[in-house]
């Protein structure tokens, strides 16, 4: 049995996603523990091979590049078949995905093709002899489970952002690999990928998130949240479920039990009372700031810093102060 | 149109969990239980599809101990036609074992569509749906936020990070449901009465090997109690100072 580890590198529109470097980093760490090599599989439309070198920088010894015109959009059936075949042929010890929307879709397909369970949504992972041990938040993050996986290969998906991408440069061998099966014959077909605002920082990537709730009182007041995010410069905008249900913001902005789960360095909750459903999505943020008119609001129980008062007055003042602090008048 | 919906009984989440004596699970004393959130959306989506077509059957399947029947009865009271209880002493954490048991039950059932919630709200693995699809050799779409079926074909939308995908697939298929597809209805009194008489079949769950287990459960470290810095605009300079000097995020 080989001790190599295979990671899947996600790309979108010809660019590596940040989580691809997290996957490569995790594969490097696991491969070092197992005494094997870190391999990465990168798939995309022709031209994606140019991104292989960047994966070497994050510790990949080898990159298998699968290019096909049909990979311009996500192609779950062919990708799962190609990865599973690669794992079978290479006798890998572990297979690493990062649980983005695509990773969450792909990892269980590959695990099932290999006839093994999936240790999903891990925040830490290590190989311990014949088993793999990881931690996984359950019950909306209120309980942390330590899980043990005793199958080989050990297929895992990591929570995005849980592993810090770390440079560990080497020159990766690049190998071109043909897809398994005909990608244009897939039963499930992505007919369109609707790009979001590409200038917008994704909630999963942003070190700072400014989030708004019903306390903003009207959809147009969300401008204040956007202005504060813009003042920080490296911030994304989130929202509570109440706000997305009312159509003030798109569903994709929702942070909470049934939306996105985030842990930025700074989370600013504007006019958010702190319903359990919302706290489940942001309670692991490093620093939490809350601005709310109700001193008894539950958000203040978990906020490191709170200001009580009218968000419509306080937020513009904070925006101005942040701009001044950043010297970006 | 014959639709199966796989549902799970989970604890309600708006409590402070305690770790049980075994150390591998939560203390179940005093917990309230219900259908997992996303499974409720899936049941509702299935009911709306058959109601719109005016024909069809919704079958609900749940794996677990006897109490799983309460969850099946709830789905029956919402309008599902019959239930299947795959009986197991406990629900294992091993998603592939569960998928195998479900695939064994669903195989040859003649379903046009098999729905799941996109993940259970307790274990949060999101793997059983797509694994069941693989075992059945069916096309699969995960985390659909919109779903329509007509003329043996389905279309769906999936939310990505900062983008979305539109998909097409042939039936039969497996789809896991995100919220946004349909808000679950409350069972009516009439529905609750009718559910008592609906068929509910009990079979042993064919789980096989369990190779993924929870070895310990622990509560996350408590956040230190927060500070209210003050009221109104006057507190802003203090906040900015702390963000610079203490939190070091500015």
| Domain residue extents for chain A | 5-185, 208-326
Which residues have C-beta within 8 Å of that of residue B22, sequence separation ≥ 6?
none
Q: Residue A69: what pLDDT?
A: 94
Q: How many residues does chain A have?
A: 329
Q: Residue B179: what pLDDT?
A: 85
pTM as predicted: 0.91
Residue B68 within a domain = yes
- Provide mean pLDDT across the span B222-246: 93
Residue B227 within a domain = no
Q: How far apart are CA B135 and CA B99, in angstroms?
A: 8
Asked whether residue B161 carries a pLDDT value surpassing 80, the answer given is: yes
Residue B182: pLDDT band (50, 70, 90) is confident
For A37-96, the pLDDT digits (tens) are 999 999 999 999 999 999 999 999 999 999 999 999 999 999 999 999 999 999 899 999
Residue B92 within a domain = yes
For CA atoms B94, A285, A255, B25, give the dihedral sign.
Answer: positive
Contacts of A285 in chain B (CB under 8 A): none
Q: What is the mean pLDDT of chain A?
A: 94
Q: What is the mean pLDDT of chain B?
A: 96
- Whether domain A5-185 has CATH 3.40.50.620: the reply is yes
B218 or A326, which is more confident?
B218
- CB contact under 8 Å between B127 and A137, yes or no, is no
Q: Which domain holds residue B146?
A: 2-204
- CB contact under 8 Å between A187 and B224, yes or no, is no
Residue B27: pLDDT band (50, 70, 90) is very high
Give the three-state DSSP class for B37: helix
Confirm or reject contact between A151 and chain B (CB < 8 A): yes
Q: Is B200 exposed, middle or buried (0-12, 13-18, 19+ CB in 10 A)?
A: middle
Whichever domain contains B184, its CATH number is: 3.40.50.620
Kindly report the number of other CB atoms within 10 A of residue A88's CB atom: 12
Asked whether residue B153 carries a pLDDT value surpassing 70, the answer given is: yes
Confirm or reject contact between B171 and chain A (CB < 8 A): no
**CATH classification number, A208-326, choose in 3.40.50.1220, 3.40.50.150, 3.30.565.10, 3.40.50.720:** 3.40.50.1220
The chain A residue lying nearest B131, using CA atoms, is A112
The half-sphere exposure of B123 on its side-chain side, counting CA atoms within 13 A, is: 24
Topology alike, domains A5-185 and A208-326: yes
Residue B30 within a domain = yes
According to DSSP, the β-strands at B153-160 and B163-170 are antiparallel
Q: Residue A321: what pLDDT?
A: 97
Contacts of A265 in chain B (CB under 8 A): 247, 249
Q: Looking at the 3D structure of chain B, how many domains does it have?
A: 1
Give, in order, the Cα–Cα distances in Å from A181 to each of A64, A185, B168: 17, 8, 19
Residue B110 within a domain = yes
Give pLDDT < 70 ranges for chain A. 1, 197-199, 328-329
Q: Residue A329: what pLDDT?
A: 42
């Amino acid at each position: 049995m080989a001790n190599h580890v295979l990671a899947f590198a996600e790309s979108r529109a010809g660019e590596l996603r940040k989580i691809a470097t997290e996957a490569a980093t995790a594969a490097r760490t696991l491969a070092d523990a197992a005494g094997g090599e870190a391999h990465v599989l990168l798939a995309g439309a022709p031209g994606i091979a140019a991104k292989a070198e960047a994966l070497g920088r994050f510790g990949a010894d080898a990159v298998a590049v699968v290019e096909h015109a049909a990979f311009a959009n996500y192609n779950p059936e062919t990708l799962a078949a190609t990865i599973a075949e690669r794992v079978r042929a290479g006798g890998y010890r572990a297979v690493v995905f990062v649980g983005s929307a695509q990773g969450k879709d792909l990892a269980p397909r590959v695990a099932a093709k290999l006839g093994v369970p999936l240790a999903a949504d891990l925040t830490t992972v290590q190989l311990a002899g014949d088993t793999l041990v990881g931690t996984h938040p359950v019950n909306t993050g209120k309980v942390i489970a330590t899980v043990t996986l005793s199958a080989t290969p050990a297929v895992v998906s990591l929570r995005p952002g849980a592993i810090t991408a770390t440079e560990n440069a080497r020159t990766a061998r690049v190998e071109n690999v043909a897809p398994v099966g005909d990608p244009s014959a897939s039963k499930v077909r992505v007919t369109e990928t609707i790009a979001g605002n590409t200038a917008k920082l994704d909630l999963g990537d942003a070190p700072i998130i400014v989030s708004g709730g019903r306390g903003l009182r009207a959809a147009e007041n969300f401008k204040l949240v956007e202005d504060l995010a813009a003042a920080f410069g490296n911030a994304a905008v989130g929202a509570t479920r109440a706000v997305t249900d009312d159509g003030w913001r798109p569903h994709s902005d929702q942070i909470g039990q049934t939306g996105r789960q985030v842990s930025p360095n700074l989370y600013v909750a504007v006019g958010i009372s702190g319903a359990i459903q919302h706290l489940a999505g942001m309670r692991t943020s490093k620093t939490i700031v809350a601005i709310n008119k109700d001193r008894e609001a539950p958000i203040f129980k978990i906020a490191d810093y709170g200001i009580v008062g009218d968000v419509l007055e306080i937020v513009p003042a904070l925006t101005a102060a942040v701009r001044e602090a950043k010297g970006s008048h | 149109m014959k639709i199966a919906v796989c549902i799970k009984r989970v604890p309600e989440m708006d409590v402070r969990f305690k770790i049980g004596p075994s150390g591998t699970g939560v203390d179940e004393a005093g917990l309230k239980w219900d259908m997992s959130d996303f499974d409720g959306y899936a049941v509702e989506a299935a009911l709306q599809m058959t109601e719109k077509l005016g024909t069809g059957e919704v079958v609900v399947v749940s794996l677990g101990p006897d109490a799983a029947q309460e969850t099946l009865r709830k789905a029956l009271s919402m309008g599902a036609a019959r239930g299947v209880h795959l009986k197991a002493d406990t629900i294992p954490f091993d998603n592939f074992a569960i998928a195998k048991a479900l695939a064994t039950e669903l195989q040859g059932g003649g379903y046009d569509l098999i729905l799941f919630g996109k993940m259970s709200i307790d274990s949060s693995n999101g793997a059983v749906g797509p694994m069941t699809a693989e075992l059945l050799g069916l096309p699969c779409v995960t985390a659909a936020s919109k779903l329509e079926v007509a003329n043996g074909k389905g279309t769906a939308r999936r939310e990505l990070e900062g983008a979305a995908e539109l998909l097409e697939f042939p039936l039969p298929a497996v789809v896991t449901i995100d919220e946004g597809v349909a808000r679950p209805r409350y069972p009516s009194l009439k529905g609750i009465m009718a559910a008592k008489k609906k068929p509910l079949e009990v079979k042993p769950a064919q789980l096989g090997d369990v190779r993924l287990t929870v070895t310990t459960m622990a509560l996350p470290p408590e956040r230190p109690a927060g500070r209210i810095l003050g009221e109104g605009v006057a507190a802003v300079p203090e906040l900015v100072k702390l963000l610079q000097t203490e939190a070091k995020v500015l």
